[in-house]
Amino acid sequence: MNGIIPLYKERGMTNHDCVSQLRKILHQKKVGHSGTLDPSVDGVLPVCVGSATKVVDYLLNHRKVYRGSVTLGFSTETEDLDGDEVDRQPLSAPFTDEAIDTVLQTLTGDLQQTPPMYSAVKVNGRKLYEYARKHETVERPVRTIHVARFDRTAPSTFDETTGTQTFTFEVECSKGTYVRTLAVQAGEALGVPSVMASLTRVESGGFTLQETISLAQVKAAVEDDDLSFLRPLDRALDNYPEIELTTALWRGVQNGVWLLQREVNSDAPIVALRYDNEIKALYKLVDDKYKPLKMFSTK
């Protein structure tokens, strides 16, 4: 059994929970997810099965799109609603939507971001949340991320009783981006504490929310001997131009031979080699030859 499952991860579940359940449902040990989602976040979680686990890294290179909400006026230790409150500054009046939009635009492009303490990023062999739970401090690595767009999606709402203001958003960003940290950065730019109030991943690995399937649906399909929910590993490689191999060239690729550029007839830095209706390998251009970068199948 080989392929990619565009899984819908429900809130309250960890990535490990999803992978563990799929291993039992599919009776398959070789299962791995692409792109971590916090337990409180729902949405698209591409899961690779069998030989498709070889394309996990390529799925991660696709863009990610999230929809969620930010609340201004208080903050938590985890930067979302799962953690204890650490600061509260009730707003006497709401910010204008135009002011919010201006701030969101400053949080686009290439940005420097420090991962939150309550995250799975490893420092000195330990995950940051392990330090946080023991109230230990450690220097966190600063990452360069890219935010293609960060847009408010509806008029904000103001609660006079609590002095909080909430706005919804959609953000398109690169791998490694912590959206809850973006929520905090938006508040900092406005001069108030803030928190990510909700989050759903609507696109990841080239799959959209509309394409996803739940664990219950996977289980029912397997019981009916229906594996149509499995997507080919080709879906992870649609960023690369495809080259159809002749039988003669395929025999060489099976043995890992280099190909002349004129044989491939391309000048793309990386190409996907297809034979018998299946992508078999990625080859990389070096000088005037294409050399094996990643083999997916030799059969």
Residues in contact with 254: Cβ distance below 8 Å, sequence separation at least 6, in sequence order: 298
The residue from 38, 42, 80, 234 that is catalytic is 38
Neighbours of 293 (CB within 10 A): 16
How many angstroms separate the CA atoms of 273 and 251, rounded? 12
Residue 158 and residue 94 in contact, taking contact as beta carbons nearer than 8 Å: yes
Q: Is 38 a catalytic residue?
A: yes
Amino acid at 274: R
How many angstroms separate the CA atoms of 202 and 250, rounded? 38
Pairing type for strands 259-260 and 289-295 reads: antiparallel
Q: Which helix (H) or strand (E) holds 21?
A: helix 15-26
Catalytic residues: 38
